[in-house]
Structure 1
Amino acid sequence: MLIESEKKHQNVVRRFFKWLRYRGAKTAAYDKKIVLMIVGLWVISSISLIVGGLGTPSGFGMVIDLVVYMTLHTVVFLTATFLGGFLLSLLYIPLPRLLLAALGYSSALTYYILSEANLGVLFSGVITAVWMGIALCLGLILVVIFHKIWSIPKKLGLVILPLAYILLIFLWSPTIEYDSITPTFSEKSYITPLAVPNPADEGGYPFKSFSYGNGEDKQRDTFNEDVDIVSDSVDASQFIKEWKDYREFFWGFDETALPLNGRVWMPEGEGTFPLVLIVHGNHSMEYFSDSGYGYLGELLASRGYIAVSVDQNFLNYSNWTGIPNEDMSLRAWILMQHLLEIKRFNETANNPFFGKVDLQRVSLIGHSRGGQAVAMVADYERWFSEDESVEGMTAIDVKSVIAVAPTDTQVDDMRAEPANVSYLTLHGARDGDVHNYHGDRQYSRVIIPNDSDLFKAGVYIAEANHSQFNTDWGRMDMRLPGGLFLNRQQLMPAAEQREVAKVYISAFLETTLNENDQYKPLFKDVRYGKEWLPNTQYVTRYEDASFYPLVNYNESNNKTVLSQYIISEGIGFESWEIESSVNRAGNTKRSKGMVFEWDDNAHYVMSLDDSLRESLSEHDFESMIVSMANMDRDLDENSHDFSQVPRVEVEFMTSDGISTRVDMEQFKSIQPSIFTQYTIHPWFDEIMREGKYEEAVEPVFQNYELPLDAFYEQAPELKLEDVTTITLYFSEGPGKLMMDNIGFNESE
C-alpha cells in the first residue's frame, strides 16, 4: 500500500509539472501577433526610468547612472513580463498575458517614480494612465507598421487614432488660465528714474578668483587638489545625530569633520574691502549648488567687495539618505564658522585674505534655506548664546542681510528676529518651491531702531521663480519628474531674473556697506530703477527709522478704537474687520490689517485726538504712507480681468473746515493681484503635490506714498497738526483691500 501511495503521489507531481510546462508553453498564446506592443511598453517605461533616474542621481555621474538603471530596468521588465504572463496563463486568462504583465510592471514603475516625487496619489495615477496610453498607442503603431500583409492604405488608416493620441499629448500647448500682469513701468509716473550708474554694471576693480577648503573633497577638484587655501574642518556632531554610510562614502567625511569650502572673488588693490558671503539652499546633494552665484561674485568683486560663495552641499537632501537632522541650525552655524575662518585668514601672513577684509562691513546673502540661515546668523544669540565655538562673532559686524526666496520654519520653536541690521528680501510670484512669500514674514519681524540709518525692504517679482536665481539650478523649481509638469510660460528669461537680483543686491550693498545713499530711493519705489530693471510687475515694501506709524493694527483688536488716540468708522462697506494676513497655504503671517470690502463706494474715517495732533506738530513730515494688499482673489471669478482695480482717495479735514483730497492714483495705481498658474494645466494645480499649488494668489502688501505737498498745493493754509479726520474713500468696486500700515515719513 505504501508503494502504491508513493506512486500516486509521484504521478500527481508529474502531472502538475506537466501542467505547468503546458501552461508555460501557452503563456504567449495571445501575444504572438502583438509582441511589438510589449516593445512599446519597454520604450515608454524606459523613458519613465530615465526621467526618474535623472532626478535620483547616485553621484557616480549621469552616464553611469543611466547605464546601471537601464540594465536593471530591462532585466526586471523581462522578468516581470514573463513571470506575470505565466501567472496569468495559470489562471487561464484569455487575454494577451505578456502584454498585460508588461503593462502592469510599466504602470507600477511609472506610478512609483511619480509618487516618490511627492506629486500626490491622484496626480500620479492620472499621469500614469495617460503615459501608459502613449505606450499602448506606440506599440500598436509598431505592430501595424511591421505587419507583412496589410496594405499601406490600411496601415495608414489603422495608425491614425493612436498617432493622433500621441501627437495630442506631445504637441498639446499648455493651458494658461492666468497669463496677464500689469507691468510696473507702463503706468504714468511722477517719479524720474535715478540718474546714477546702473548698480548691475561691472565696476572698476580687477579681481582674482580662488578657493579655500580642507583639500579632501572627493567630488570636486576645486576643493581638493586644486584648492588654493587649506581651511580647517569643523565638528558638527552636536547637531547631527546620524550621518548615513552612503553620505560618508560619497563625501569622504562624517559629521565630525565637515569642511569649510568656499569660492572666492576678491578685488585687487590697496586697502580693505567689505565681505559678502553668499549661501545656497537645499537642492539635490549630488547636483552641486555653490558655483551658481558666480554671476554675483564676479559683479561684486568688480565693485570692490570680497564675495564668497559658501559650500553647504553636504547638508542638502539626497534621495538615498534624506537630509541631516537639525539642518537649519547647522546651516547657520556653518556660515558663522566660515566668517570666523575668514577672520583667521585675515590675520594670517602670506594668506590671500591677509589684511584685506573689513570685518566691520559684512553682509550675508542667502537663497532658499540659505535665506533663513542668514537671518538666523543675524540673530544668532537666540540659538547659539552658549556655543563657545562662535564666541568670535562679537568681533564681526554683520551690517545687512539679503534673503532670496527664503524659507522661514521654526527652529527650536523660534524664528529669527534680526535687529540692528538692514534687511532685503526678493521673491518670485512664480516660485514653485518656496511658494509662500516667507520673506514678507521675515520682513515683519525685522526691528528698525529709532535714530538709525538702517532700513528694510521687500521686492515681490511677478515673473520670477525659485531656481533661476542660481545658474546651476536651471528653470525647474522641482527635481524630475515633477519639474516637467511646472508651467514655465509665465517665467521671465533667466538672464532677466538674475538682472533683477544684480540690481537690487548691488544697490543694497552700496547703501548698507558703503553708505552710498544715492541708491536708497530704489527701495522706496521700484520705478526709480526703470532704466535698469525688466518691465514686469513689482510689489514693494520699505521702512526705515523715519517712519512714524499712525495706525498699527497688530496692536488693536477693536476696529473702532484703534488706540487711545484714534477712533475709526467704516461707512458703506459690505464688511470691515481686523484680520490676520495669510499666505498661500492659509498660514497666518505676523502682520494684521484692516480688510475692507465694498460694492460701489465706501469710506473709512479716522478721527485723531488732540494729543496725537500735538505730537504730529513736533515732526517735519514729507509724505504719507499707506500699505495695502489687493484681496481680489476673494471676489468672484469674473473680477479677475486685471483691468478692474479699485480707486482710493485720501482726504484731510481740519477742525475749522479746511479739507483737501488727493487721489492715490496720481502717484501710484492700486495694483491687481498677481495670479500664478504653477502647472501646465489649471486642474493640475488642484491635484499636484496634494493641492500645494491650488491657491493662485498670495496677497502682498504694497507701499503707496503720497507727498504731503500734494495736499498743501490744494490748501496752502493746511497744517498737519490741525487735521482732525483722515478719510479714505474707496470707489470703482467691487473691491477688497487689506490695509496694513498707515503713517508718515519724516523729511531726511
Structure 2
Amino acid sequence: MSYFLKTIIILFACCTVYGQNSREKIANEGNFKTEEFYYQPQSNDPQDLLRTDVSSYFATPDEAVQEQMDNVPISGVGHYPVGKGPFPLVVIFHGNHFPLRPSHEGYKYLTQLLASHGMVGISIDGNFLNGRVSGEMDARAILMLRHLQVWRKWNQTPQHRFYQKIDMNSIGLAGHSRGGEAVAVANLFNKTLHDQNDPLHNFAFNIKGLFAIAPVDGQIGKSTKVVINDTNYFVMHGSHDGDVYNFAGLRMYDRAFPVDHDAGGFKSLLFVHGANHNYWNTVWQYSNDGGSGFGMSSPYLQITAEKQQLLAQIFMRAFFEWTLQGKSRKELFTGSESLIPTDIVAVQQYSDREHIDLNNYEEDVDSTTGTYPGVQNNARNMSQFKEASIKGGSNVTSQQTHGAFVTWNSNDAVYEIKLPSQIEKLVADYPYLSFRIGQMYEKEPQHNPVEGQDLSLNLQLAKNTTVPVKISRFTKLVAPVPVFKFNYDISKTNMQTVRIPIEKFTNNKIPLKDITIRIKFCNTPTGFIVMDDIQLSK
C-alpha cells in the first residue's frame, strides 16, 4: 500500500476530572499514551489509496497550487491513543489561508488532547483548495468524506496498525472558517450524495457531532440549503474576528433543528469577547492580517492566543466526549457549570430536542398569541413590543430567526405569558424555563445597554404569586461589545440562553396550576432587548 505513517510516541500521565476549579484540568492531557502521526501518498499514481479526484467539484485552484484537482493528495497529521480500541474518530479541517502554508498543522494542540482522552484526532491537509479561490466549498466537504473512506478501509484491513482500532459508529467533524461550513456540508453530502455502488461516493458514515470554529456560511451556494437536523452542532466565534466579522455561523445555528421538525440532537453556541479569527490556529496566529486583529479597535482588549486555544481545548474535548463517548457534559454547554476562565467574557446559547416551545415567534407576527396552542402574551407599559426578524443591531450581523423586540422607559414594564391548562401536567417533565435574551446594540445608543442588566421573573399560580427570581442568579446579562474595523462598525447583538429551574420559584410547595409567567423589566428605567425561544425544557 503506497502510503507511510510517521509516528512519535508521547506519554501523558495526568488524570483529568470535571468539577470545581477545573478550568485548566479539562484542557489537560488525559492518561492515554499517544502517538503523533502523518500520512500522505508516496507517489502521483492516481490509483494510490491516498490520492483522489475532486475535479468535478472544483477545478480552478490558486495559481500557486501545483496539485491537479483530478489527482489531489489525501494527507493529514494527528494523534491517536495507544490501546486496544476501538476509538472514536474526529476529523478537523482548516479554512482558507495562503496555499503554501501548512494550515492543517495548526490544530495539533487539539488532536493531541483528543488522543490523550481516547479519541483519534486528525487534521487534514486541504491547502491545495486555499488561496484566491471561490466555489470550492463542496470540494472541501468531499475531501473530508474521502478521508473517512480511507479510515474505514484501514479499519477493515488486517495487519494494518488501525485494523479494528476505529469506532466507525462514532465520528465527529470539526472545522475552522471555511472548514467550519465544510463540516455541515460534509454531513449533508454524507447522505444526499451517498451511493454504495460508486466507490467515490460510498459514504453513509455515522457522524454524531459537528464542531465549527468561526465558520463562514453560504459559500456552498444558495441552491444548496444546509440545515442541520440529524446530529449535534456546536459553534464558537469571537467579537474581534476581522475576517468572518458577521458571525456567519449564527445563521447555521438558527437554521439547525427547524421548529417544524423534531430535533435530532442538541445545538450550542459560544461567543467570546475579545477573540479573533486566527488565534484558534497555531500556524495562523502569527499572520498580521484582519484575522489576527489588524485594523481592529474596541474598548475591549483582544485576548491572547493562549487563552483562545484553551477555550478551544475545553469545548472541543467536552463536545466530543459527550457526543462520541457518551459522557454527559450538558452543564458545560448550557452554561450552568462554567469552565470559562474568569477573566474572559463569553455568552452561551443552548437548545435540544427535549423542550416545549411556548414562544418561538416563527408562526406569525401577532404578539398576543404564542407558539404553543392556547398561549397568550400580554405586554404592559412597554414603549415597544413587536415580533420581527432578528438581524442584530448593525448590518454585519445576520441571523435567520424571529423574536420579540422589547423597549421600555419605566420601571413597571411587564411581559406576561399565560399558559393553557394542558401544559400544567407537562411541567414536571420539563422542569426548566429557558429563553434566549440579549441587550440590543445600537449605533446611536438611546437605551444605554449596561453590564449587569437584570430582569426579575415570577409565576402567578392561581391566586399565589411566587417569589421573584432574577436572571443574575443564573447568568450575567452582558452588554454588547463595540468593535470597529478600520472605523467600520462590526459590533453585534448576541443573545444568550437563560435556564431557570421552576422549583426556584416555588420551592416545590405551590401547585403548578393556572400558570402565568411574568417578566418584569425593573432593574433600569430604560432598556432595549431581544428575546427568542421561550421554552419549557429538561
Question: How high is the TM-score relative to the length of structure 2?
Answer: 0.87
Counterparts of 2:499 and 2:293, CA distance in 1: 40
**Deviation digits for residues 162-192 of structure 1, max 9, x if unmatched?**
xxxxxxxxxxxxxxxxxxxxxxxxxxxxxx8
Q: Secondary structure at 1:343's aligned position in 2?
A: helix
Deviation at 1:702, TM superposition (A): 0.5
Pick from 516, 525, 538 the counterpart of residue 733 of structure 1.
Answer: 525
Task: Give, as a single letter, the amino acid of the residue that structure 2 aligns with 1:549.
Answer: D
Which whole-Å CA distance do the structure 1 matches of 2:421 and 2:337 have between them? 37
In 1, Cα distance between the equivalents of 2:109 and 2:206?
Answer: 25
Q: 4+ runs of 1 displaced by more than 6 Å?
A: 194-197
Indicate which of 234, 237, 249 corresponds to 2:52.
Answer: 234
1:125-172 CA-to-partner distances (Å, cap 9, x unmatched) read xxxxxxxxxxxxxxxxxxxxxxxxxxxxxxxxxxxxxxxxxxxxxxxx
Displacement, 1:393?
Answer: 1.6
Residue number in structure 2 paired with 1:522: 332
After the TM superposition, which residues 644-683 of structure 1 pair with which residues of structure 2 at under 5 Å, given as runs? 645-678=452-485
Aligned partner of 2:27: which letter? A
1:271/1:241 Cα in 2 relative to 1: closer, same or farther (>3 Å)?
Answer: closer
Which range moved further: 654-663 or 294-303? 654-663
The verdict on how the C-alpha distance between 1:597 and 1:389 changes in structure 2, with shifts beyond 3 A counting, is farther
Question: Structure 1-normalised TM-score?
Answer: 0.64
Whole-Å separation in 1 of the counterparts to 2:501 and 2:293: 46
Aligned position for 1:397:
206
Gaps of 5+ in 1: 1-191, 218-223, 225-229, 679-683, 687-693
Inter-partner Cα distance in structure 2 for 1:461 and 1:729 = 28
- Pair 672,487 (structure 1): closer, same or farther in 2 beyond 3 Å: closer
SS in 1 for 2:367: coil
Query: Could you tell me which residue of structure 1 aligns to residue 348 of structure 2?
Result: 540
Counterpart Cα distance in 2 of 1:586 and 1:526: 30
Decide whether aligned partners of structure 1 residues 581 and 382 sit closer, same or farther in structure 2, where only a CA change above 3 A counts: farther
Matched residue, 1:719: 511
Judged with a 3 Å threshold, the aligned counterparts in structure 2 of structure 1 residues 458 and 477 are, in CA distance, closer, same or farther, namely: farther
Indicate which of 399, 402, 408 corresponds to 2:217: 408
Compared CA separation, residues 236 and 494, structure 1 to 2 (3 A): same
Aligned-residue CA RMSD (Å): 2.8
Which residue matches 1:118?
A: none
The Cα shift of 1:484 comes to 4.7
Distance 1:197 1:477 in 2: 29
| Cα distance, 1:569–1:390 mapped onto 2, change above 3 Å | farther
Residues 45-444 of structure 1: matches in 2 within 5 Å? Answer: 193=20, 198-216=25-43, 231-243=49-61, 246-247=63-64, 250-251=65-66, 253-317=67-131, 322-323=132-133, 325-380=134-189, 384=193, 388-389=198-199, 391-394=201-204, 396-413=205-222, 414-444=224-254
Query: Does structure 2 conserve the Cα–Cα contact (< 8 Å) formed by 1:445 and 1:590?
Result: yes
Amino acid at match of 1:649: S
**Which residue does 2:382 correspond to in 1?**
573
Q: State the 1:386 CA deviation.
A: 6.5
Q: Determine if contact 2:447/2:526 at 8 Å carries over to the other structure.
A: no
Q: Deviations along 1:613-662, whole A, 9 cap, x unmatched?
A: 34535x4232211210110435627826x44x533111211233544432
Which amino acid in 2 is paired with 1:596? V
Helix, strand or coil at the partner of 2:487: helix
Equivalent position SS for 2:343: coil
Q: Report the Cα offset of residue 354 of structure 1.
A: 2.1
Tell me, yes or no, if structure 1 residue 685 matches structure 2 residue 493.
Answer: no
**Which consecutive residues of structure 2, in runs of 5 or more, have no partner in the other structure?**
1-18
Larger Rg over CA atoms: 1
Q: Which residue pairs with 1:221 in the alignment?
A: none
Paired with 2:414 and 2:496, the residues of 1 have a C-alpha distance of 20
Given that 2:397 and 2:492 are in contact with CA atoms closer than 8 Å, whether structure 1 keeps it comes out as: no
SS at match of 1:669: coil
Secondary structure of 1:720's match?
Answer: coil
> CA distance change for structure 1 residues 291 and 377 in 2, over 3 Å: closer, same or farther?
same
Structure 1's 464 and 658: CA in aligned 2 closer, same or farther, altered over 3 A?
closer
1:384, distance to aligned residue in structure 2 (A)? 2.6
Identity of aligned residues (%): 25
**Partner Cα distance (2:461, 2:211) in 1:** 43
Query: What's the secondary structure of 1:474's corresponding residue?
Result: helix
Which residue number corresponds to residue 8 of structure 1? Answer: none
Letter matched to residue 493 of structure 2: P
| Contact residue 362 and residue 399 of structure 1 kept, 8 A | yes
Matched residue, 1:560: 368
Gap change, CA 1:332 and 1:298, over 3 Å in 2 = same
Q: Is the 8 A contact 1:456 1:544 kept in 2?
A: yes
> Aligned partners of 1:621, 1:736: CA distance in 2, in Å?
29
Structure 1 residue matching 2:57: 3-state secondary structure: coil
Q: Partner of 1:621: helix, strand, or coil?
A: coil
Q: Distance in 2 between matches of 1:729 and 1:486?
A: 37
Alpha-carbon shift at residue 308 of structure 1 (Å):
0.8
Q: How many residues align?
A: 509
206 and 385 in structure 1: CA distance in 2 versus 1, 3 angstrom threshold:
closer
Provide the rounded CA distance (Å) in 1 between the counterparts of 2:470 and 2:23.
30
Distance in 2 (CA, whole Å) between partners of 1:548 and 1:311 is 43
For 1:685, the aligned partner's letter is N
Q: For 1:597-616, what aligned pairs fall within 5 Å after superposition?
A: 597-601=407-411, 602-611=413-422, 613-614=423-424, 616=426
1:668 maps to a residue whose letter is T
The aligned residue for residue 14 of structure 2 is: none
Cα deviation, residue 215, structure 1: 2.5
The Cα offsets for residues 639-690 of structure 1, whole Å up to 9 and x where unpaired, read as: 26x44x5331112112335444322223323221122244xxxxx323xxxx
Q: Deviations over 1:63-116 (max 9, x none)?
A: xxxxxxxxxxxxxxxxxxxxxxxxxxxxxxxxxxxxxxxxxxxxxxxxxxxxxx
Partners of 1:267 and 1:657 in 2: CA distance: 58
AA matched with 1:672: A
Aligned in 2, Cα 1:614/1:578: closer, same or farther, shift over 3 Å?
A: same
- Aligned-partner Cα distance in 1 for 2:40–2:76: 6
CA deviation string 1:37-82 (max 9, x = no partner):
xxxxxxxxxxxxxxxxxxxxxxxxxxxxxxxxxxxxxxxxxxxxxx
Structure 2 SS opposite 1:335 = helix
CA distance in 1 between counterparts of 2:330 and 2:109 reads 23
Please say if residues 212 and 231 of structure 1, whose CA atoms lie closer than 8 Å, have aligned partners that are also in contact: no
Establish whether residue 551 from structure 1 lines up as the match of residue 345 from structure 2: no
1:338 partner amino acid: H
Check conservation: 1:439, 1:458, Cα contact below 8 A. no
The answer as to whether partners of 2:348 and 2:496 remain within 8 angstroms in 1 is yes
Equivalent-residue separation in structure 1 for 2:356 and 2:495 (angstroms): 18
- Corresponding letter in the other structure for 2:93: V
More strand by share: 2
Q: Residue 308 of structure 2 is aligned with which of 488, 494, 497?
A: 497
Question: Could you say if the C-alpha distance between residues 634 and 600 of structure 1 is closer, same or farther in structure 2, counting changes exceeding 3 Å?
Answer: farther
AA at the equivalent of 1:707: P
Determine the C-alpha separation between the residues in 2 that align with 1:195 and 1:490: 25
SS for the counterpart of 2:323 is helix
CA contact (8 A) 2:466 2:505 kept: no
The change in CA–CA distance for 1:210 and 1:238 in structure 2 (over 3 A counts) is same
